[in-house]
Structure 1
Amino acid sequence: MKTTPATAPSETLAGFAALLREHGLSVGIAEQQAMLSAALTLGAVSEQRLQAAWRAIACHNAREWRLWPDLFGRYWHAHRMKGGVRVSGQTRPSRDLRQAVQQMHEQLDSAQQPPNQGKPAPQTASDAPGASQQDQEASATPRAQGGASRTEPLQQRDGQMWLPQELGALQRLARQITARLRPLPTRRWRSAQPGHRLDLRKTLRSSVAWGGEPMAPAWQIKRTEPPRLFILADVSRSMESHAPLFLRIARAFAVEAQARVFVFHTRLAEVTPLMQRDSSAVQEKVNAVTAGFGAGTRIASSLNEFARVHARAQLNRGARVWVMSDGFDTDEPEHLATALAALRAHGARITWFHPTREVPAAAALRGARAHIDRFIPLASVADLAAARLVLH
Structure 2
Amino acid sequence: MNHTPAFAPTETLAGFAALLRDHGLTVGVAEQRAILQAALALGALNGARLNAAWRAIACHSAREWKLWPDLFDRYWHPERVRGTVRVSGQTRPSRDLRQSVQQMREQMDAAQQAPTPARSAPQTAADAPQAGAGDSEAGSPRAMGGASRSAPQLEALHQRDGQMWLPQELGTLQRLARQITAQLRPLPTRRWRGVHRGQRLDLRQTLRRSVAWGGEPLAPAWQVRREEPPRLFILADVSRSMEAHAALFLRVARAFAMEAQARVFVFHTRLAEVTPLMQRDSATVQEKINAVTAGFGAGTRIAASLQDFARTHARAQLRRGARVWVMSDGFDTDAPEQLAEALQALRGRGARITWFHPTRGVPAAAAVQGARTHIHRFVPLASLADLVAAKPLLH
| Normalised-by-shorter TM-score class | 0.7 to 0.9
Residues 123/186 of structure 1: CA separation in 2 closer, same or farther (3 Å cut): closer
Structure 2 match to 1:37: 44
Residues 278/196 of structure 1: CA separation in 2 closer, same or farther (3 Å cut): same
- Partners of 2:368 and 2:389 in 1: how far apart? 23
Structure 2 match to 1:380: 383
SS where residue 284 of structure 1 aligns?
helix
**Are positions 1:53 and 2:50 aligned together?**
yes
AA partner of residue 198 (structure 2): G
Structure 2 match to 1:263: 266
8 Å Cα contact 1:197/1:221 also seen in 2:
yes
Structure 2 match to 1:217: 220
Q: Deviations over 1:265-311 (max 9, x none)?
A: 11111000000001111111111222252322111111011001100
RMSD (Å) for aligned C-alpha atoms:
3.9
Structure 2 match to 1:315: 318
- Partners of 1:278 and 1:70 in 2: how far apart? 25
- Partners of 1:103 and 1:190 in 2: how far apart? 62
AA partner of residue 394 (structure 2): L
Superposed displacement of residue 24, structure 1: 3.8
Residues 253/12 of structure 1: CA separation in 2 closer, same or farther (3 Å cut): closer
Structure 1 match to 2:16: 16
SS where residue 351 of structure 1 aligns?
strand
Residues 69/287 of structure 1: CA separation in 2 closer, same or farther (3 Å cut): farther
- Partners of 1:123 and 1:212 in 2: how far apart? 68
- Partners of 2:186 and 2:342 in 1: how far apart? 26
- Partners of 1:298 and 1:35 in 2: how far apart? 52
Q: 1:226 aligns with which of 229, 248, 251?
A: 229
- Partners of 1:102 and 1:173 in 2: how far apart? 34
Structure 2 match to 1:179: 182
Residues 189/55 of structure 1: CA separation in 2 closer, same or farther (3 Å cut): same
AA partner of residue 302 (structure 1): S
AA partner of residue 203 (structure 1): T
SS where residue 387 of structure 1 aligns?
helix
8 Å Cα contact 1:35/1:54 also seen in 2:
no
Unaligned segments of structure 2, at least 5 residues? 21-26, 76-85, 104-122, 131-136, 146-159
AA partner of residue 312 (structure 1): R
8 Å Cα contact 2:128/2:142 also seen in 1:
no
Superposed displacement of residue 368, structure 1: 0.6
8 Å Cα contact 2:300/2:332 also seen in 1:
yes
Aligned residues with identical type, % of pairs: 64
- Partners of 1:17 and 1:32 in 2: how far apart? 13
SS where residue 389 of structure 1 aligns?
helix
8 Å Cα contact 2:28/2:282 also seen in 1:
no
8 Å Cα contact 1:326/1:355 also seen in 2:
yes
Superposed displacement of residue 176, structure 1: 0.7
Unaligned segments of structure 1, at least 5 residues? 43-49, 79-89, 109-121, 130-134, 144-156
Q: TM-score by structure 2 length?
A: 0.72
Higher relative contact order, chain-length normalized (CA < 8 Å, sep 6+): 2
Q: 1:168 aligns with which of 166, 171, 179?
A: 171
SS where residue 363 of structure 2 aligns?
coil
Superposed displacement of residue 93, structure 1: 8.6
Superposed displacement of residue 241, structure 1: 1.0
Structure 1 match to 2:367: 364
- Partners of 2:292 and 2:207 in 1: how far apart? 58
- Partners of 1:161 and 1:348 in 2: how far apart? 33
- Partners of 1:163 and 1:303 in 2: how far apart? 33
8 Å Cα contact 1:232/1:323 also seen in 2:
yes
Residues 388/263 of structure 1: CA separation in 2 closer, same or farther (3 Å cut): same
8 Å Cα contact 1:243/1:290 also seen in 2:
yes
Residues 28/61 of structure 1: CA separation in 2 closer, same or farther (3 Å cut): closer
Residues 360/61 of structure 1: CA separation in 2 closer, same or farther (3 Å cut): closer
8 Å Cα contact 2:38/2:53 also seen in 1:
no
Counterpart mapping for 1:64-213 below 5 A: 70=67, 73=70, 77=74, 91-92=87-88, 101=96, 124=125, 142=144, 159-213=162-216
- Partners of 1:165 and 1:174 in 2: how far apart? 14
AA partner of residue 55 (structure 1): A
- Partners of 2:243 and 2:42 in 1: how far apart? 31
SS where residue 161 of structure 1 aligns?
coil
SS where residue 186 of structure 1 aligns?
strand
Superposed displacement of residue 324, structure 1: 0.5
Q: Deviations over 1:130-180 (max 9, x none)?
A: xxxxx99xx98649xxxxxxxxxxxxx961332222211111111111111
8 Å Cα contact 2:233/2:324 also seen in 1:
yes
Structure 2 match to 1:349: 352
8 Å Cα contact 1:141/1:241 also seen in 2:
no
Structure 2 match to 1:273: 276
AA partner of residue 274 (structure 2): V
- Partners of 2:142 and 2:307 in 1: how far apart? 27
Q: 1:305 aligns with which of 295, 305, 308?
A: 308
Q: Deviations over 1:301-358 (max 9, x none)?
A: 1101100110011100000000011111111111111110010010000000011111
SS where residue 254 of structure 1 aligns?
helix
AA partner of residue 16 (structure 2): F
